């Protein structure tokens, strides 16, 4: 259990150090090695839909020294992770508790934009 807690803390520190804004186009480029070129998977379809839906929205990304990488939308609270460790590769969707942990880090780093508000029209 202690090893798991140490690993989680290392990942948290790495996310704090590496988290940065990214565009959908940059995320697509960074994560393209994980797309199923011959046989698309559900992950590929969801990731493509995610990029389309967030083409102009701010995204955040980061990685750790263990090969884990993430990209997520603070606005929609959805995101994806990948991992490469030697010849082992994996990918999936971020779980709600992972998104919340990343949102906390994004707040600490002041990377969250205030919610968009519609201008108030005043007529005199």
At 26 the pLDDT is 94
Residues in the chain: 124
Q: Does 114 map to a domain?
A: no
CB atoms within 10 A of CB 51: 18
Closest C-alpha among 121, 117, 112, 118 to residue 20: 112
Q: What's the structural domain count of the chain? A: 1
Q: Does 122 map to a domain?
A: no
d(CA 97, CA 46): 19
CB atoms within 10 A of CB 30: 15
Domain around 58: 2-108
Closest C-alpha among 97, 4, 7, 106 to residue 62: 106
Kindly report, residue by residue over 85-114, the tens digit of the pLDDT: 888 888 999 999 999 999 999 999 999 866
Q: Does 40 map to a domain?
A: yes
Q: Does 51 map to a domain?
A: yes
Global pTM value: 0.81
At 37 the pLDDT is 60
Q: Does 113 map to a domain?
A: no
The mean pLDDT of 70-99, rounded to a whole number, is 92
């Amino acid at each position: 259990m202690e090893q798991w807690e140490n690993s989680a803390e290392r990942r948290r520190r790495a996310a704090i150090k590496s988290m940065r804004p990214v565009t959908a186009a940059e995320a697509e480029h960074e994560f393209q090695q994980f797309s199923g070129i011959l046989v698309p998977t559900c992950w590929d379809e969801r990731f493509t839909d995610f990029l389309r839906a967030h083409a102009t929205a701010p995204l955040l990304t980061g990685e750790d020294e263990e090969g884990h990488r993430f990209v997520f939308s603070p606005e929609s609270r959805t995101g994806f992770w990948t991992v490469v460790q030697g010849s082992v590769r994996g990918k999936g969707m971020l779980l709600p508790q992972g998104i919340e942990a990343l949102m906390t880090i994004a707040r600490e780093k002041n990377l969250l934009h205030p919610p968009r508000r519609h201008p108030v029209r005043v007529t005199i």
